[in-house]
Amino acid sequence: MADRPVLTRRRAERFGRTGEAIAALWLIVSGHRIRAARVKTPVGEIDLIASRGRSLVFVEVKSRASVLERDLAFAAVNRSRISAAAAFWIGTHPRYAGWDMRFDVIGLAPMRLPRHVKGAFDATESRGRRWL
């Protein structure tokens, strides 16, 4: 019985990684270049960082078991965490500092095309700089 939570976590981790791989393929097919995946910073994690032209796209991926759950998951996106992680990442990659930035969410559900919400939210730094 003690192994059940470990198995559940492993399945969830595999499900999430599979979703991120599908989202990365979706972005590549739509003309984006994947710059980084599963980026961990001291202030949060970014699922995917992509670019197209001179625009950076910070992507949150939500994989769910049903379309309804997928659509409800959009409300669960932690915008402040993602924007803080993006600001940290830009600080460590100054060559991208002048690029346009966008925050997208890609939702996945079995047997459905990904739902890609471009510019899903605006994020501002605490000093008031507008990201989008």
Q: Can you give the pLDDT at residue 16?
A: 77
Q: What is the pLDDT of residue 112?
A: 87
Looking at residue 13, what is its pLDDT?
A: 80
Nearest to 83 by CA among 29, 48, 45, 30: 45
> What does DSSP say about strands 44-52 and 115-117: parallel, antiparallel, or unpaired?
unpaired
Report pLDDT digits (tens) over 54-108: 999 999 998 887 777 767 777 778 888 999 999 999 999 999 988 999 999 998 8
Residue 132 has pLDDT above 60, yes or no: no
User: What pLDDT, on a 0 to 100 scale, did the predictor assign at position 74?
Assistant: 73
Q: State how far the alpha carbon of 51 is from the alpha carbons of 18, 65, 79, 112, 125, in Å.
A: 21, 28, 19, 24, 21
Given a contact cutoff of 8 angstroms between Cβ atoms, the answer to whether 112 and 67 are in contact is yes
Q: Going by DSSP bridges, is the β-strand pair 55-63/100-108 parallel, antiparallel, or unpaired?
A: parallel
Q: Summarize pLDDT for 14-69 with one digit per residue, the tens.
A: 877 888 999 999 999 999 999 999 999 999 999 999 999 999 999 999 888 777 77
Give this prediction's pTM. 0.83
| Residue of 23, 12, 131 lying closest to 82 (CA atoms) | 131
